[in-house]
Structure formats: C-alpha cells, structure tokens
Structure 1
Amino acid sequence: MKFTDGFWQLRPGVDALYGREAFELRAEGRALVALVPTKVVERRGDTLNRPVLTVTLTSPLAGVIGVRIEHHRGGRDERGFDLVGAEEGHGEVVVDGEEGRLVSGDVTAVIRRGAPWSLEFRDTATGRLLTSSGEKSLGYMRIAPGAQVDPGIVGNARAGTDTTPAAAYVHEQLGLGVGELVYGLGERFGPLVKNGQAVDIWNADGGTSSEQAYKNVPFYVTNRGYGVLVDHPGHVSFEVGSEAVERVQFSAAGETLEYFVLAGEDPAAVLERYTALTGRPPTLPEWSYGLWLSTSFTTSYDEATVTSFIDGMAERDIPLEVFHFDCFWMRDFGWCDFEWDPRVFPDPEGMLARLHERGLAVCVWINPYIAQRSPLFDEGLREGYLVRRPDGSVWQWDLWQAGMALVDFTNPDARSWYQGHLRRLLRQGVDCFKTDFGERIPLDVVYADGSDPERMHNLYAQLYNEAVFEVLREERGEGEAVVFARSATAGGQRMPVHWGGDSTSSFASMAETLRGGLSLAFSGFAHWSHDIGGFEGLPDPAVFKRWVAFGLLSSHSRLHGSDTYRVPWLFDEAEGRDEADPQSAVSVLRRFTTLKRRLRPYLVAAGDEAAATGVPVMRPMALAFPDDPGAAHLDRQYLLGPDLLVAPVFTAEGDVELYLPEGRWTSLLTGETVEGGGWRRERHGFDSLPLYARAGSAVIGLASDDADAVDVVPTGGDVR
C-alpha cells in the first residue's frame, strides 16, 4: 500500500509519524531496545505530546535477528506464525557509547544513538552491509476516513464488514543496493524478480493469471546474502522498489509490526535458515513422485469410467501411481459430507480394494466447508463446530456450495470432529487427500479461540492443512503422509505437496504456472505440482503434449482438468494421430512417465535433501547459480534436483531458447555433450525438450531415442 505522493509529499488523508532518532539504547537480557521518538528531541518540551516507537531486537536462531516495532503495546497479543525452530539463548547484546549491537551468528544489527534513525544489518565476519532502515523508513501512518490510499484486494474483502482502510499502519523500509534483486513472496505468477512490484499478502481464489495468489508468504530473499520474513499472518502490503525505488517497504494495519532478517552467504543458505525457523518438509512416499490421474472436476464419471481410464493407461504401458477422485465422488450440494455418492459408487470399499490390487494409491478431494444440505451441517451447528458471525449466527453464503459454512479449526473439538471423518475414509481405503480451497475466508466472523479474523484469513489454510496432514501421519505413518494442497502461507512447506491452482489451457498459462512454482520455491516450498494441460478449457494437442513434458519433470505430476478429461488417447483421436507415432500424446506421456520412473531414486534423494536443508526439489536458476548474472532473471527454465536442467518448450513448433551456465552439460535424451556459458536455440519434437545433466551429476546413461535406457545412480556418479 502506498502512502506517499512522490518523494516529498504524502497522499491526501495520510499523516506520517516517522521514527527520527534513537533517543535511548539499552540492553534487556539478550534483547537490544531502542526508544525512537517521532521528532528529534532538541529540548525537554519535545518529549511532550509526541508518539514514540519502541524497537526491540532479539534473535530466535543463530544468523537471524528479529525486529519488533511498537507504537501502543497495550493491545491483545495477536498470533504470529508458528516458528517451530525458534530457540532461547541466541544473540549477544553490547551497548557501547553511541552504538548498540546485537550479534547473532552470521548477522550483526547495529543501532546508532541520535539522529537520523539508523538500523544496519551487517555480515558479522566481513562487516559488509546487507540492508538497513534509515531516514523515514520507520513509520506509524495514520489514515483518515476517505484517504486516497488503495488497500487493494483486502478492501474488497473488508467491504461492508469494517472501515476501509484501517485507521493506522506500521511500516518499515529496508534499503536495496545497486543490482539487488528480490525473489519470493509466495506463489506469484508475474515476473520472478519482484523489483518494481506491489504485492498484497492475502490468499485469494484468483486463478494463475492475475496479481492474486493462493499461496501468499510474507518472506523474500535477495541476491545480497539475506532474506526477510514479516511475522504477520494477515494482510501485509509489500512495495518492492515500487514506492521508494531504493527500498522494500512492508506495512500492516495496527500498532505493531515484527520482522526477521535472516543471513546466508547465498539464497540457498538463506532458505536453509528460513526453513530451520519455520519448519522443513518431511520425506514423502516414493509413490507420490509418480503419475497422478484425475477424474477431472465436472466431468461425468463412475467406477466404470475410472476403470476404463486405468485400463487404458495399462494397455498403453503408461505407468500410473495414483488415481484421484475430484469433487463429485460426493453427492451434489453435499460437500463436504465425506460420503461416497451411492448412485455412481455403490461399493466404495470394494472399489478401493480393487484399485489397491492394481498397485494404485487413491486420493480424494475435500474442502473445509460444510454445505447446508450435508447432514454434518446440523451436527456442526448444534455442537459449535462452525465459524460464527459476531451476532452468534453461523457464517454462511451460497458461493461454491448452497448455504456453505466454514469449519472452525481453532476449536479443538471441531478439528477432532473433522479429522474423525477423514480417519473413516482412510480406514475405508483412501490413501491421501486433495485439500482444495481455504482462501475464501471471511472477516465478519468470530473464532472459537478469539483469533483476529484479519490474521486468520491467510492462517486458516495452515490450520486446515495441518489438521489433515496430522491424520495422514497418524494413520499412514511417518514418511507416508501426503496432501495435494492449493492454499498456504509461511510454514506451509511442512505439509506437502502444493499445486499451482486453476490455470487455463494455453502456452501463456503454462509459462505463468512455471513462474508461480519458481516463486514458491524461493518462498521455502520444496515440492510443487500443477494441472498438466491446464485446468480451464480443453488444451489443443500441442499444449497438452508440451505440458506433459514439463509436468513429468516437476517434483510431482498430475493430469487434471475442469470439464474435460486428460487421458492422452483423446488428444490423439482429436488430432487423428496414430498412438504409435512417437509424436502422439500417448507416446509422449509414456516416454516422460517412464523417464520419471527411472529418475525416481534421484528425485527421492532430492526430497530427502529438502527435508534436511530446506532446498527445494525444483530450483530456480538464480537459486542454483547465485554467482552467475546470466541466471538472475531466468523464469522459463530450472534445475530439477541438483543436476538436471529442464527448459520446457512453450511453442507448438518446438522452438526454445535456454541458458546453460558454465561447465560441461550432457543431454539426457540425445547424449550430446556441450559446453555452457551462454544461450542456445534449439528445436524439439513433442517427445523431447532441453534436458541437460551437468558434470558430476547423479544421472548417467544416455539414449537418443529410448527413455527406457536412461538410468540413475546414487549421488556422486558422473555423466558418462
């Protein structure tokens, strides 16, 4: 949210009170506290009738410094993120003359007494400046009714429920160096580099083609050796060099703002520290890395349809690992009642057993809503399991499902009630859940534990996914739990997998989907998937086949659509192409599914590395090659694991441009060995794409025409 009108003026209706000086510095145990008046104190009278900001520095983990900015501290203690890695006893405080320092591992924070206000974050070993808060960076912004500020999507959510915008905000600005680039802030579908963008951290069901996002994470990392996490699970507004072009500004409504600066020699080291603080993903079952096939959303299906799809894949030698039942496995108007629709699935236990006999895992769709028609609605109403309005009535609307209510996961009894229905399904034979939705969370409500609805808007998805993941872990065991989730926020990486949401069936949407996945990887998420072929609409065969190659070379791979099926032979029929043709959809899917099965030990090892270090399985080039300026802006290619460079093809003709960093690279599909250090132009058939292994990689074995010949060995092998 922008508060200023250019460099000198404020927007009409905005009153800015900036922290002007460190009037007092003191040590309080392992905390460094600064008293920061909003006027330079020149005489005693300047201390009267003047707001003061209190800035407290602490360290929850070595190499991490927390900054808490407070105006009035008498409000209730609001919840932040669950910082599972935070520990006591970090940081050493020194107040010496005109300077106060907090030293924590690789990062040192320095506050200088007097004016102007100055807070610097430096590399402890070298003294190199990482970033700083300076003149007019620290602000308490009073907003008058009718002020000319734009709260964006949050204003739409607040309409009719509260004053828009809020009456006061706290903001901080951290400096950007020359050439400094910013990444992250969740799964965002615009340019990977966030410089110049305004970003609202506010989960929304907006598809993949707008500034809205399903997974908003108030964390960014730069190419200058640090990252920043704002510990506010509600709405945080970021101006990334888009209000003050020399700074990243972040602001939140209220009287306090807290953030953490995390040091690291490169972005991967920052992510390692960030995931140590917010949590790392668990290891995932091997079967989850295989191909998932869905019924699609509104298509007509029953057990015979499902069986025909599975038989069709088997007849065509296409390895399948998971079958997913989307929404209509339950009865119309009844979502979620967790009951199989008896009209189309009269024998669910028998069907699930038959699917297991074929070696398939089974996933079913769920969401956190209870429709009024569901018999669970009356039970939830009676027992107090549903989110209520301030007047005591249950919050309901007709968007998505008629009379839809929302499970209150802040109520332990409601959480257990919801989990009980999931346990019944798991014992029936279901293996995992697609946890859809979780973004349409209202503000005009009261939660059982008294949580602020604004803070719960994004955090609700966390509670929802945690409840489901906990049941899977308890029923299936450690290393076997997996969800397929759409919404998330900071720390959501602890409950994988997440998928990219509702894309359209086009090359442009395929590219924006990839940008979303790369941005999410920079936000600490190790595992990611997307709807192969796009969700909305029917992809033409070229889009489908190019997306197949991309999808099977992502960490997780699912065929899914909205109102059309995604089995490959339908695309060959539409194109009039023989399935035996290497360029057919059937052949392309078989080739890349088989290739991914061969790569499974490599992918599992990358997943294990993510569980140990937080480094994602799918790695943006700027993350993998932080010292190569040629990689800084790349958003159409990535590394899959530590060694495989993937450049999806976004044209029907097969033309692609890619950048190979310095070193020796070998095409996994052709055996050609080339030297990197520049750009390449290539043309590929549907059964191919640029897929290069770098020297010393785990992947060996090359085949020009047969993906079956590709082999992998444990980490440490060489390309031959």
Structure 2
Amino acid sequence: MKFTDGFWLPRPGVDARYAQEAYALDVEDGELVIEAPTRIIERRGDTLNRPLLTVSLASPAEGVIRVRVEHHRGARRDQGFEIATDAAHQALIEVDESGGVVDAGALRARVVRGAPWSLSFEHEGGTYTSSGAKSLAHLSLAPGAPVAAEPTGVTGVTSTGLAAASEYMHAQLSLDVGELVYGLGERFGPLVKNGQTVDIWNADGGTSSEQAYKNVPFYLTNRGYGVLVNHAGHVSFEVGSEAVEQVQFSVAGESLEFFVIAGPTPAEVLDRYTRLTGRPAIVPDWSYGLWMSTSFTTDYDEATVTEFIEGMAERDLPLSVFHFDCFWMREFHWTDFEWDPRVFPDPEGMLARLHERGLHVSAWLNPYIAQRSRLFQQGVDSGFLVHRADGTVWQSDLWQAGMALVDFTNPGAVEWYQSHLRGLIGQGVDAIKTDFGERIPIDVVWHDGSEPEGMHHRYTQLYNRAVFDVLEEVRGPGEAVLFARSATVGGQSMPVHWGGDNSSSFVSMAESLRGGLSLSLSGFGYWSHDIGGFEGDPDPAVFKRWLAFGLLSSHSRLHGSTSYRAPWRFDRGDEAPGQSAVEVTRRFTKLKQSLQPYLVAAGLEAHRTGTPVMRPMQLAFPADPAVAYLDRQYLLGPDLLVAPVFSAEGEVEYYLPAGRWTNWFTREVVEGGAWRREVHAFDSVPLWVREGAVVPLLEEDGSAGEFRA
C-alpha cells in the first residue's frame, strides 16, 4: 500500500504520524522499551494531544531481534504465527546516555537517544539495515483516501477498491546500493523483488498472475539478513517501489511486529528462520520417485489405473506413487471420504493390488464439505462448519455445490475430520494431496474467536497440520508426506508442496521454476510441479523438456487437467532414437532413481538446517555477483547444477560459477566462471557436478555406487 505522493507529501486523506525521536528508554521484562513520540518533545506542552508509538525490542533466539511497534496497546492484535523461542538464550540489553543496545550475538539492535529516530541492526563488520526518520508510522485514513487496499477480499475494501480501514501501521528498512530482495513466498514473477508491490494474501490465481498460493511475509537480501513480518493477515510490501531506498511493509490496525534475522550468508538466515518457524520434516525415501496421476477431470476406473501402471512397467518406466485425483469420490459429494462405488466397488482390494505391485498410493482431499456429502448434516448439527455472524453456515457454490468449510479451530471438528481420514489411510492410502486452503472467507466467525483476516492464512496451517498429524501418527515420523498447494509461515514443516495450476507452455515452465526458487528462499525445503503443465494438452516438445526439469526437482509428478499424462500419449512413432517421450521418461526417471541416496541426504540436510533440496544460485553462491538475477537454473542438493531447457530446439544459456565442473552425461571437465550456450537433444540437459563432489548412487541392481567429480 502506498501512502505518499512522492517523497515529501502524503496522499490526500492520509494523516501519517512518524516516530520522531527516542524520547525515553527503559528495560522491562527482558525488553528494551522506547517511547517514540510523533513530534520532537522540546517542552512539556509538546507531550499533549499527540500520539506516542511504543517500540519494544527483544531477542527470542541468538541472531534474531524482535521489533514491536504499537500505537494503542489495548487494541486487538493480530495473532501472528507460531514462533519458537530459545529459553536458553539471553540477550544483553544496555541503556546509557547515548541510547540502548540489544545484543543477540550475531545481531545487535542499536537505538540512538533523541532525534531524529534512528534504529540500526548491526553485525560485527557493520550495519545490515536501519530504520531512520519517517520509517515507523501510525497512519489514519479519511474516507475515500486514494490508498488501494489490495488484494480483493481484504477486510474493509470498498466497491471502488479504495481502503476503508482507517488505521494502519507501517515500517521501513533501508536498502543499500546493490541490495537485492528475495523470498515472500512462492511468487511466479521476477525472482528479485526490488521495484515490486507484493501483497501477502493467499489466492487461487494460477501461476501466471501476481497472486500466490503460498504467501510468506519473509524476505532475505544479498546483504546477509532476513526479515519476517509476524502478521497472519494482509501484509503489503513495497520493495523499493514507494520509497526506492526502503523496503516498506504495512498492516491494518494499531500494532506491527517484525523480526530481523542475521546471516551473514543466506543459508545461515534460513537456518535461523526455520529454527523460529519450523524445520522441513523428513519425507519418506519412496516419495522422491515418480508420481503418476489420474489427472483432474478425466474418466477413470480401476481398469484405467491398471492400464497406466502396466503401461509404465511394460515400457520399463519406474513408478513410485500412483495418485487418485478428485473423482475417486462421487461428483457433488466432495469431501465425504467415500470411493465412488460405480467405478471403485472394491477400493480396499484395489489398493492392496497396487501395493503388491510395489506402489504407494496418494489420494486427493480438500477442506470443503459439499451439501450432498453424507458428512454435511453431521457437520451442521455438531457445529463443525464455519459460520457467519448470524449463526448460519457459510456456504458457496464456487467449487462444489453448497459447500461449507471445516472449522479447524474447533478441536471437535479436527478430530471428526481426522477420524474419517484415518479410515481412508486404513484402506491403504499412503499420502494425501491437500488441495485448496486459499479461498478462506473473512465474513465469518471462527469457533475459537480468531480474527477472520488472520485466519485467511492461518487456516492452511491448521488444515495441513490436521492431515499431516494423522499421517505421521499412522505411518510414523519420517514416513508422512503431503502434496499441498497452499501454505504460509511454518508450512515448510509439513512437506511436500507443489506449484499449483500452470499451463502447458515453455513460458509457464519458466514461471513455475521462478515460483519454486522463490519458495526455496522462503524456507521451504521441498517443491514439485506438474510435469508438462496442468492446463491444456502440452506439445510433445514441452512435455519432454519438462520431464527433464521435473525429474531433476526434489519431487516429481505427472499430472494434468483434462488429459492424461501417460508418456506414450505424446509419441507419434517417428521420433529419432532416444528422443521419444517414453525414452526421455525412462532416461530421467532412472537417473532420478539412481540419485535417491543423494536426494535423501539433501532432504536430511533440509531437516537439520533449513537449506532446501532445490537451491537457488543466490543461496548456493552468495559471493558471486554474476548469480544475483539468475532464475533459470539451480543446484539440486549441494553438488548438481541443473539448467532446464526452455525451448523446443534445445537452445539453452546458463552460467557455471568459478571452479571445475564435470558434465554428468559426457564426463567432460570444464572451468567455470563463464556463461555457456548449448543445444541439447530431448534426452539431455545441462547437468554438472561440482569439483570434489562424491554423489552417492543406487545402481539398478540395488547396489551402492557413486559419482566422483
């Protein structure tokens, strides 16, 4: 949200009250508390008829400092997210005539007494960022003030799209020369966020819009620190866009809380961030193999499923998981946890037969209960469904006719939903695709009294947690795996997540990768996407290029909307040797199968440190300025560089960082520190091994092997 008209003036109808000075500093209950009046106090009369901002600084963990800025402290505060604190950590707080310091080890916050307002965040070698004059503010908006309250659906948006909420808080943190901002969730636009307005508000907008399924109000920069805004409702970021020297974040209400997180490397920032918000869980080894789906609206029964599975086996295409999408349940009945008896009369027997083939099974779910579901009236009678203020059940026809929403703030509703889920898992389902979780209404009342705007994001956490906990309970730790679409802060603790509804094109393939890299820089350890694209029927060239990309991602799934994604459906029979979709699938599926020990080790590292399996170049090579804007390549694990091919002709341009690299396929050894332009056949992709790497392998006969570079 933009409150100013250029550098000097506020927009019409905006009354901005900025922290002008650090007037008084006190140590209270382990916090440094600063009185920050909104005018410079020169005489006693200046304390009258003027707002005071209270700024409190504390440290929940080593290298982390929490900043809370409050106007009226008695106002309702956003619940924020679950933040872990280190009870053994004790920050050093000092106050003297010059100001105050909170020393959190790798990070210090320094407040200078008096005017102008000055709060800096320092490390041993200098300053990460700072909050200076006009950077902390309480803002009041007159009716009709031309301040856009994006996105649509946020509390108080008028029909004209102007802000109707009257009170806001904002903070600004400085950007240095050449400083670049990354993260803010799974975003499909430019990887570098400078110059963008980013609204943190989960939405089902596909991969080709500014909306995102996984919004995370956390960013990190190439200057070695990160920032988490601890606000579960709508957060608007202006990343060098309103004030080009600042990152600004604003929220409705009377208080704003954020954490500054030290590095100095991006990996260390993610380590500290995931200590606060949750480590990625360990996922089962079998989840790294190829997943195949029925696709979305296709017709299928057990015979169809068997045809696909046997077709993969006959063509020597390794398959690990078979996924049943929406229509395993009867139309108009989602969600009732019952297999459609017209096409699956013996679900237990069918699932047992799939297990006998060595496959694991995934099934689709969502948090909605359709009006025709056998569970609908149970939910109504028991108070397990989300209500409106007048006591009626919230319902919609957008998705399923008359659908309601499970209220996961109600412990009884959680147990009710989980009891049906246990039955499904007991039938033989191994993994759950938790679809949706973004379109959460705000004109409702929650069982636990949660503030509706904050629940728009917290809902996905409760929904995925309800499912993940049952999987872990039944399967055991390290054997639970979701395939989730929506997420927010902390969602990384319940993997895996996939990129949502993309289209079948090279452009969408590239935007999907940008989303995955952005999510990785937001603390998520694993990520997948629909190979070939979800919408439409991909051209064979798109499908084959996407196979290499998809099978060199942390997790890999064949899935579509209206058409099957069986590889042989993309072959005409006149392809050159090695260039058919079947052959390309075989080559890269077996490659990924051989990499399983390496990927499992990378997943364990994600669990221990928060470093993702798919590593953006900016994370892997923070000292190399040439990688700052790269968004078409990545490291898979610590040692494999992948540059997907985004063209039918096979033309690709990518950068090899300094050092010696070995080509996986040809064993060619080259010196890095340069750009490369190449042309690749469908059965090839730039795949390089870092000097000195020892990549553990699983040979086809089951024996252990390795690749040494």
Q: Does structure 2 conserve the Cα–Cα contact (< 8 Å) formed by 1:700 and 1:711?
A: no
The answer to whether the Cα contact below 8 Å between 1:699 and 1:711 also exists between their aligned partners in 2 is: no
Which residue of 1 is the match for residue 680 of structure 2?
684
* Counterpart position of 1:14: 14
Q: Specify the alignment match of 2:640 in structure 1.
A: 644
For residue 468 of structure 1, give the secondary structure of its aligned residue in structure 2.
helix
Q: Distance in 2 between matches of 1:171 and 1:634?
A: 31
Quote the Cα distance in structure 2 between the aligned partners of 1:318 and 1:392.
54
Residue 690 (structure 2) aligns with = 694
Q: Which residue of 2 aligns with 1:236?
A: 235
Distance 2:251 2:191 in 1: 24
Partner of 1:38: 38
Structure 2: unaligned runs, 5 residues or longer: none
Query: 1:152 maps to which residue?
Result: 150
The 1-side partners of 2:78 and 2:697 are apart by 55
Q: Percent identity?
A: 69
Corresponding residue number in structure 1 for 2:328: 329
One-letter amino acid of the structure 2 residue matched with residue 33 of structure 1: V
Q: CA 1:21–1:89 in 2, change beyond 3 Å: closer, same or farther?
A: same
Do the aligned partners of residues 536 and 488 (structure 1) sit closer, same or farther apart at CA in structure 2, a change above 3 Å counting? same
Alignment deviations for residues 225-251 of structure 1 (CA, whole Å, 9 cap, x no partner):
110000001100000000000000001
Displacement, 1:265? 1.5
Name the counterpart of 1:82: 82
1:566 corresponds to 2:565 = yes
Secondary structure of 1:350's counterpart equals helix
2:61 counterpart residue number: 61
Distance 1:254 1:617 in 2: 38
Residues 66 and 81 of structure 1, relative CA distance in 2, 3 Å threshold: same
Partner residue in 2 for 1:631: 627
Question: Residues 19 and 156 from structure 1, CA distance in 2 versus in 1: closer, same or farther, beyond 3 angstroms?
Answer: closer
| 2:144 alignment partner AA | G
1:478 aligns with 2:474: no
1:288-303, aligned counterparts within 5 Å?
A: 288-303=287-302
Q: What SS does structure 2 have at the residue aligned with 1:380?
A: helix
Amino acid at match of 1:696: G
1:143-193 Cα shifts (integer Å, max 9, x gaps):
111110111214567557999431111000000000111100000001111
CA contact (8 A) 1:60 1:88 kept: no
Residue 577 (structure 1) aligns with: 574
From the superposition, tell whether residues 51 and 182 of structure 1 become closer, same or farther in structure 2 (CA, over 3 Å).
same
The CA distance in 2 between the partners of 1:356 and 1:38, in whole Å, is 67
Q: Relative to 1, partners in 2 of residues 1:532 and 1:56: Cα closer, same or farther, differing over 3 Å? A: same
| Cα distance change of structure 1 residues 483 and 71 upon mapping to structure 2, 3 Å threshold | same
Offset of residue 710 of structure 1: 13
CA shift, 1:12, in A, is: 1.5
Equivalent-residue separation in structure 2 for 1:606 and 1:155 (angstroms): 39
Structure 1 residue 681: Cα displacement: 0.3
Deviation of residue 577 (structure 1)? 3.2
Residues 235-282 of structure 1 show CA distances to partners (whole Å, capped at 9, x for unaligned) of: 000000000000000010000000000001110110001001111012
Matches within 5 A, 1:143-542: 143-155=141-153, 164-542=163-541
Distance 2:95 2:541 in 1: 65
> 1:438-481, CA deviations, whole angstroms, 9 ceiling, x for partnerless residues?
00000100000000000010111010001100000001001100
Structure 1 stretch 527-536 or stretch 151-160: which is displaced more?
Answer: 151-160
Residue by residue over 1:70-89, the C-alpha shift from the partner in whole angstroms, topping out at 9 and shown as x without a partner, is 00011235421111355364
SS at match of 1:342: coil
Letter of the structure 2 residue corresponding to residue 14 of structure 1: V
C-alpha separation in 2, matches of 1:251 and 1:476: 42
Residue 282 of structure 1 aligns to a residue in which SS? coil
**Which SS does the other structure have where 2:355 is aligned?**
helix
User: Residue 141 of structure 1: which of 114, 139, 142 is its match?
Assistant: 139
Q: Alpha-carbon deviations, 1:539-575, whole Å to 9, x = none? A: 0000000000000000000000000000000000xx3
Write out aligned runs for 1:51-130 (5 A).
51-87=51-87, 89-123=89-123, 125-126=124-125, 128-130=126-128
For each residue in 1:547-606, what CA deviation from the matched residue of structure 2 results, as whole angstroms up to 9, or x when unmatched? 00000000000000000000000000xx3435x830000000000000000000000000
SS at match of 1:604: helix
**In 2 relative to 1, CA 534–157 (structure 1 residues): closer, same or farther, beyond 3 Å?**
farther
Whether the 8 Å CA contact 2:92–2:102 is kept in 1: the answer is yes
Question: What letter matches 1:45 in structure 2?
Answer: G
Contact kept, 8 Å, 1:19 with 1:38, in 2: the verdict is: yes
- 1:621-669, CA deviations, whole angstroms, 9 ceiling, x for partnerless residues? 0100000001111000000000000000000000000100000001101
Where 1:153 maps in the other structure, the secondary structure is coil
Q: CA deviation at 1:204?
A: 0.1
Shift of 1:515: 0.1
CA–CA separation in structure 2 for the residues paired with 1:39 and 1:157: 31
CA contact (8 A) 2:294 2:559 kept: yes
Whole-angstrom CA distance in 1 between matches of 2:457 and 2:69: 22
More divergent stretch after superposition (643-652 vs 5-14): 5-14
Change over 3 Å in CA distance of 1:13–1:701 after alignment to 2: same
One-letter amino acid of the structure 2 residue matched with residue 90 of structure 1:
Q
Aligned counterparts of 2:77 and 2:44: Cα–Cα separation in 1: 33
Q: What secondary structure sits across from 2:76 in the alignment?
A: coil
Single out whichever of 623-632 and 7-16 deviates more from structure 2. 7-16
Q: 2: distance between equivalents of 1:143 and 1:310? A: 60
Give the Cα–Cα distance (whole angstroms) in 1 for the partners of residues 648 and 288 of structure 2: 27
> C-alpha separation between the residues in 1 aligned to 2:3 and 2:503?
35
5 Å matches for 1:598-637?
598-637=594-633
- Matched residues in 2 for 1:455 and 1:157: separation? 10
TM-score, structure 2 as length reference: 0.98
Counterpart secondary structure, 1:490: coil
Q: Is the 8 A contact 2:186 2:519 kept in 1?
A: yes
- In 2, are the aligned partners of 1:85 and 1:278 still within 8 Å (CA)? no
Aligned 8 A contact 1:527 1:556 in 2:
yes
Partner of 1:547: 546
- Amino acid aligned to 1:169: Y
**CA distance in structure 1 between the partners assigned to 2:615 and 2:385 by the alignment:** 40
The alignment partner of 2:199 has SS state of strand
Task: Return closer, same or farther for 1:611/1:85 CA change in 2, 3 Å cut-off.
Answer: farther
Q: Could you tell me whether the CA contact under 8 Å between 1:497 and 1:528 is conserved in 2?
A: yes
CA contact under 8 A between 1:231 and 1:260: conserved in structure 2?
yes
8 Å CA contact 2:594, 2:697 repeated in 1: no
- In structure 2, the CA distance between the partners of 1:383 and 1:700, relative to structure 1 (3 Å rule), is closer
Give the AA of the match of 2:164: P
Tell me if the contact between 1:660 and 1:676 (Cα under 8 Å) persists in the aligned partners: yes
Q: Flag the 1:132–1:232 CA change in 2: closer, same or farther, 3 A.
A: same
* Contact map agreement 2:529 2:550 (CA 8 A) in 1: yes
**Structure 1, unpaired ranges of 5+:** none
Q: TM-score, normalised by structure 1?
A: 0.96
8 Å CA contact 1:698–1:712 kept in 2: the answer is no
* CA separation of 1:356 and 1:709: change in aligned 2, threshold 3 A: closer
CA distance in 1, matches of 2:632, 2:56: 42
Over the aligned positions, Cα root-mean-square deviation in angstroms equals 1.8
Contact 2:158 2:164 in 1 (8 A): no
2:555 matched residue in structure 1: 556
1:30 positional shift: 2.0
- For 2:414, give the aligned amino acid: R
Residues 545 and 585, structure 1, Cα contact 8 Å, conserved in 2: yes
